[in-house]
Amino acid sequence: MAPTDNPRRHTREDVARTALRLLDDDGLPDLTMRRLAAALDVQPSALYHHFPNKQTLLAELADRIVSRGADPLPAEWTDAVRAEAAALRDGLLAYRDGAEVVTSTFALGLGAAAPLDRLTRAVAAGGFDDETARRAATALLHFALGHVSHEQQRLQYDSLGVVVDAAATPFEEEDRAAAFAFGVDLLVGGLESRDAVGQRPPVSRSRT
Amino acid sequence: MAPTDNPRRHTREDVARTALRLLDDDGLPDLTMRRLAAALDVQPSALYHHFPNKQTLLAELADRIVSRGADPLPAEWTDAVRAEAAALRDGLLAYRDGAEVVTSTFALGLGAAAPLDRLTRAVAAGGFDDETARRAATALLHFALGHVSHEQQRLQYDSLGVVVDAAATPFEEEDRAAAFAFGVDLLVGGLESRDAVGQRPPVSRSRT
DNA sequence: ACCTGAACACCGTTCAAGT
DNA sequence: ACCTGAACACCGTTCAAGT
């Protein structure tokens, strides 16, 4: 009979948590406002008391999906970038259709702000100017979202038994992880050679 | 009174062409089977005589969107890769929500096969083995799809007057093109340094 | 503050039947 | 071969009203 025991009357947190569970169990196409309401034992219109619309709900899910960065962060900046990229991939893969959820809210400045910040910091530790670091981080983020979206779509088709032109892409987790790492290595390698070509890394430590 | 003059009775080609026009005029969310049918002055069910479902129709659109490669193709392989990447971006940008349409069918092995082939050939001309060329091309494709998806989503939000956390991304075409080229340059640079580290380019000319 | 009940304006897809 | 007409099983969102 504690006040928290009340079975009806949900909070925004409940709604987000249940939505995340539904997403992971059934996938994004089946995450409808009506099904979510049913899972909470509530009328669909009740959801609009917690979120103004579905897009805002998805943005909240995106924030949660990418909330975790690399920990611990390697000392060497190239390893740090690789670790942040891998952590981003892990986060996206941790929920079904995670990459698509994040992509769908990325352009609003929501959802992907946290990983963009982390990647930018990791690159900046290599001594690049802010502009270069931000652009490289954006490239890494675009690659990661493109790659994992592809992975998850493929996983979905495979699970549905849809016949796919299999020659194009690897299907074992090991191969997929290697293909992802290959792309990240190219981007990091490009940064390193850029460094070698022109830029002299200043010791960037201007903040507390 | 020529036989081609018949105003009803459509062909698969008509349907695809009208769908592409609707896509470009109104965007992917408004490209519904019912609106497409109305644009063709036909019942929705008539569309299923030409395409088994909406997904197959979108795959056909994706193929058309990315059908054009770079022409002429520069002699130097790094320039060829950059040209193919830029041509891919141009193709995706040529239709509203083009990147999303291509992404949505990519995992089926449809839609993105042509640009993947072209990018693979351009990279292979640098003397890399087939596996490396295919992986690099895949990374370029993932980056391009991620980047242009982001661009087009942002364009859509801007046109709808949605307030966006603007600090994150550039909004002028010049800046967007430069950000895209920066990412491509990183990937190409990574390939070049990889070449320098280990690989000796064999003259690959084993086919007619 | 949180929810119900009812409605509005839509979707993709199927299927028997027509020509 | 190509299409109609009608239906099925859904969507997101709004809004007056209840507690």
pLDDT tens, residue by residue, B44-86? 999 999 999 999 999 999 999 999 999 999 999 999 999 999 9
Give the Cα separation of A32 and A183 in Å (integer). Answer: 34
Is pLDDT at A205 greater than 70 in this prediction?
A: no
pLDDT at A160: 79
| Predicted confidence (pLDDT) per residue in B105-143, tens digit | 998 888 889 999 999 999 999 999 999 999 999 999 999
Residues of B in Cβ contact (< 8 Å) with A104:
153
Nearest to B64, CA basis, from B42, B95, B39, B86: B95
Q: Coil, helix or strand for B107?
A: coil
Beta-carbon contacts of B185 under 8 Å, excluding residues fewer than 6 positions away, are A190, B82
pLDDT, averaged across chain B: 89
Give the pair of three-digit tokens for residue B202. Answer: 């064999």
Give the Cα separation of A186 and A193 in Å (integer). Answer: 10
| Predicted confidence (pLDDT) per residue in A28-87, tens digit | 999 999 999 999 999 999 999 999 999 999 999 999 999 999 999 999 999 999 999 999
Binning pLDDT at 50, 70 and 90, where does residue A166 land? low
Q: Coil, helix or strand for A19?
A: helix
Give the Cα separation of A53 and A36 in Å (integer). Answer: 13
Strands (DSSP E) along chain B, which ranges? none
Smallest Cα distance from A15 to chain B, Å: 25
Binning pLDDT at 50, 70 and 90, where does residue A111 land? confident
How much of chain B exceeds pLDDT 90, in percent? Answer: 77
Chain A interface mutation, best of B143, B152, B176, B184, highest count of A Cβ atoms under 10 Å: B143
Binning pLDDT at 50, 70 and 90, where does residue B17 land? very high
How much of chain A exceeds pLDDT 70, in percent? Answer: 86
Do the chains contact at A150 and B106, CB–CB below 8 Å? yes
**In terms of C-beta density within 10 A (0-12 exposed, 13-18 middle, 19 or more buried), how is residue B119 classed?**
buried
Please name the member of A107, A190, A193 whose beta carbon is closest to the beta carbon of B153: A107
Cα nearest neighbour of B139 on chain A: A183
Q: Contact B190/A189 with Cβ under 8 angstroms?
A: yes
For strand D, the positions having any atom within 7 A of a protein Cβ are 1-7, 10-16
pLDDT at A29: 97
Give the pair of three-digit tokens for residue A13. Answer: 């947190």
Q: Which residue type does B185 have?
A: D
Cα nearest neighbour of B141 on chain A: A146
Query: Can you tell me which residue has the tokens 């967007």?
Result: B176
Do the chains contact at A141 and B146, CB–CB below 8 Å? yes
* Mean pLDDT on B91-95: 98
Nearest nucleotide to B41, CA against C1' atoms: D3
Calculate helix-pair angle for B130-160, B98-106, nearest 10 degrees.
Answer: 140
Residues of B in Cβ contact (< 8 Å) with A110:
165
Task: Tell which B residues from 86 to 105 touch A, by Cβ distance under 8 Å.
Answer: 103-104
pLDDT at A110: 80
Query: Can you tell me which residue has the tokens 């072209």?
Result: B118
How much of chain B exceeds pLDDT 70, in percent? Answer: 86
A9 or B23: which carries more pLDDT confidence? B23
Please name the member of A110, A153, A187 whose beta carbon is closest to the beta carbon of B107: A153
B52 vs A: CB within 8 A: no
Is pLDDT at A183 greater than 80 in this prediction?
A: yes
Cα nearest neighbour of B136 on chain A: A183
B6 or A21: which carries more pLDDT confidence? A21
Q: Coil, helix or strand for A132?
A: helix
Give the Cα separation of B126 and B133 in Å (integer). Answer: 9
* Mean pLDDT on A148-177: 83
Nearest to B180, CA basis, from A180, A135, A181: A135
Q: Contact A152/A100 with Cβ under 8 angstroms?
A: yes
Give the Cα separation of B103 and B117 in Å (integer). Answer: 16
B58 vs A: CB within 8 A: no
Nearest to B57, CA basis, from B15, B120, B109, B106: B15
pLDDT at B2: 32
Nearest to B180, CA basis, from A138, A82, A194: A138
- What's the DSSP call for residue B73? P
Do the chains contact at A150 and B144, CB–CB below 8 Å? no
Is pLDDT at A174 greater than 60 in this prediction?
A: yes
Omega cis (within 30) before B72: yes
Nearest nucleotide to A6, CA against C1' atoms: C2
A192 vs B: CB within 8 A: yes
